[in-house]
Amino acid sequence: MNEKNISLWIGTFKDKNIMKEYFTVGHSKDGDRVNSLFEDAFLLKDVNDYFREIAFYDDIKKSIELLIKGCSYEEQVIPKFMANVKGAEDYEGNTVALLYNYKFNGSKVLDEGGGYSIMYIGTVSYDQD
C-alpha cells in the first residue's frame, strides 16, 4: 500500500460558468501550461490535472460528507474528514475541489472574488492499492 494525501476546498459559486472559469487551466501561444485562477489564488505548485476532482452542485449542500459523496476513495476519506475537521457537518457550499496526491501547506485559506468564495478545509491521507 502507498499512503497518499487528499487536500479539500469547499466553495460557493454564483453559477457553473464562474466555477468553470475559476478552475480552468489554460495554455499560452507557445503551448505552455497557464495556471488556473484557483492555482494562482492558493499559490499551488505542481498540480497534476489528472489527480483532481472538481464538482459543482445546483443546490447548496451542508456537510463535508454530502459534498464529497461519490469522490474517489470516499470510503476512506469521508470518515477521515468528518473526524478530523472541526464542524465538518456544518460546512456548506455548492462546489468542491479535491487534489489527490497533494498536501497543501500554504498559508492562504480563503479566496473571494466576483461571484465566488472558496476555502481550504484540510488534508487527509488515504491508502492507494
pLDDT in tens, 26-83: 999 998 889 999 999 999 998 888 999 999 999 999 999 999 999 999 999 999 999 9
Number of domains in the chain: 1
| Cα distance between residue 94 and residue 33, in whole Å | 27
| Cα distance between residue 124 and residue 65, in whole Å | 14
The three-point CA angle 68-69-74 to 5° equals 90
* Ordered DSSP codes for 21-54: HHH--EE-TTS-EE--HHHHHTT--S--GGGEEE
Element (H, E) at 17: helix 16-23
pTM of the model: 0.93
- Three-class SS state of 108: coil
Q: Which domain holds residue 72?
A: 2-128
| Cα distance between residue 109 and residue 111, in whole Å | 7
- The DSSP bridge partners found for residue 112 are 117
pLDDT in tens, 5-24: 999 999 999 999 999 999 99
